[in-house]
Chains A and B, each alone.
Chain A
């Protein structure tokens, strides 16, 4: 375990004293125990609760996101936001990165991702609805994230944005991938820069494949067609990501 991670575990335990069991494995460090919180959100009730959780922290955290499990079997089987493997679906990967970068430590991860998730669950259990929005499942949720962040109207524009990020990163003087005809700097500059900073090669690759898969399925059904320029770009990028 790195010195940095060790310090983060100490910081986490100084706030959440129940998260005190630490086990080191080859590929990850596991921190587990009771997470007790009293959480509120603007205009919503305060919820005081405790859960048994397990954080599986990869060695390159915060570059790679931790996985989180609830271990006492308290999450209702009807709650849809759990992965098939039983880990909690905190958010689509890029949104997890967005939230995490606001406080890129283990404590940040627990306070900004895990507690809001569990608060959302408790609220749902009580009222039958989610206090914050829910993302669509699977690839669709990833696609939606781009469409919402950029206020895009169609899937191909989302694919253009993610392709741009994958190929160029951030380039202010290029034409904006949203198709407005304006330069990035005076169009979606800020949003694009933010995404560029949030992404890791891994999340970028994952999102590209997810959005491409969705578009390709629609292409096969005859619902959309790829413009010529995009085809060439996609061919280049597919070669890169398949490496």
Chain B
């Protein structure tokens, strides 16, 4: 059996788009969160001066959404929103910021019903939708905490026991950083993709310029989605689910390592190859000098690990990697090896059936079945009846 790498890349692309949020669902989510935003904006918050703003962060903002799988079943999309109150840090408390937002949400008849019990940092609204594909909207109360007009840093609230603390974050800054890493590939593909999306979802977008940038996906974003889906399936039944590599680490490292490859397969293979080259760090060994110089993943003299937030080097995403004899670090590197084996070393598969089985285990049976024909056309051997179509009917839909 020979596999054409271009076709395999196309298969990966389609599989990623299958686990992505579809345009209609994306638009629903935007409508939902804008409605929440308007409701929050119209509230009054003691001590506030200026306008409250609400914006997405995380995978929804970065275009790396993956439909979660919980217990083997496709679950609701998670959408993270920052709700920035116009308050000064020295004139308020984390508790009051958190509770004012919660109180305002409870003032709304519908949101009161959708609201989960208070979380550590967020308020979560759970939407169940008619088509069975719902959303979790996580609203993260925050205040601006920058040191100048262009500084987008925020302070968010963190509840430990009954006490509330400030903690630092900068999702907007991170988004801008990510966009920078993605920019060249975005410029290369945006128009063609928007054209495609508009044609497929003409009921939602009447013209190409109505298609939002957030729906365009570069090979970097596709690679991140596939890595996250593979992670979800691998750690789903794992006894150490808490060791699953967190999305912000995957996204940060992938964006750093992406070399502007033009297709998903080469993007993924570039990223995974460079991640594997860091594996010697687990035994405190030496790694390739060029990688050591960049210092994406580092061991500190005391043996702890460091993966910095690119917009806030003080924040260490790997601050728990040394615990339990480096359990998280080990889980990370064995996962990276599995990525290589499950998604990149597929040329050795002997039969289409085995290939399909392995890919299904790695990415999910439903999505693989749907797109497997891209990879291996099913009908090459048999003689098909030939039909020439004339005067074809137009497809329709009853509503």
Question: Is residue A120 contacting chain B, with contact meaning CB distance below 8 A?
Answer: yes
Chain B interface mostly:
loop
Binds A, one of B250-258, B337-345, B383-391: B383-391
- Type the 1/0 row for B183-205, where 1 means its CB is closer than 8 Å to any CB of A: 00000000000011001110100
CB <8 Å contact, A137 and B399: yes
Contact check, A78 vs B201: say whether CB atoms are below 8 A apart.
Answer: yes
Which residues does chain A contribute within 8 Å of B200, judged by CB atoms? 78, 124, 128
Q: Which residues of B contact A90 (CB under 8 A)?
A: 393, 395-396
Q: Is A5's CB within 8 Å of the partner chain B?
A: no
A80-102 vs B: 1/0 string, CB under 8 Å?
Answer: 11111000111110011011001
Q: Which of A40, A91, A111, A128 contacts B395 (CB 8 A)?
A: A91
Instruction: Take A37-B384, A92-B396, A141-B396 as given contacts and tell me if A128 and B389 are in contact as well, using a CB distance cutoff of 8 Å.
Output: no
| One of A41-49, A161-169, A189-197, A234-242 at the interface | A41-49
Which one, A21-29, A69-77, A170-178, is touching chain B? A69-77
Specify which chain B residues have a CB less than 8 angstroms from the CB of A80 in the assembled complex. Answer: 203, 397
**A53 on interface, CB distance cutoff 8 Å:** no
Given known contacts A37-B385, A49-B379, A73-B366, A133 and B399 CB-to-CB distance under 8 angstroms:
no
Is B378 on the interface with A (CB-CB < 8 A)? yes
B146 near A: Cβ within 8 Å?
no
Does A117 sit at the interface, judged by CB under 8 A? yes
A130 within 8 A of B: yes
Question: Shortest CB–CB separation between residue B131 and chain A, in angstroms?
Answer: 9
A132 at the interface (CB under 8 A from B): yes
Chain A contacts for B199, CB-based, 8 A: 128-129
Write the residues of chain B forming the contact surface with A, with a CB cutoff of 8 angstroms: 22-24, 195-196, 199-201, 203, 366, 369-370, 373, 377-380, 382, 384-399
Contacts A74-B369, A128-B200, A135-B394 aside, 13 further interface pairs with beta carbons under 8 A come to A36-B382, A39-B389, A41-B389, A41-B392, A48-B384, A50-B378, A73-B366, A73-B370, A83-B397, A112-B393, A115-B389, A124-B200, A139-B399
Q: A-side interface residues toward B, CB under 8 Å?
A: 15-16, 36-42, 48-50, 72-74, 76-78, 80-84, 88-92, 95-96, 98-99, 102, 111-113, 115-117, 119-120, 124, 128-130, 132-139, 141
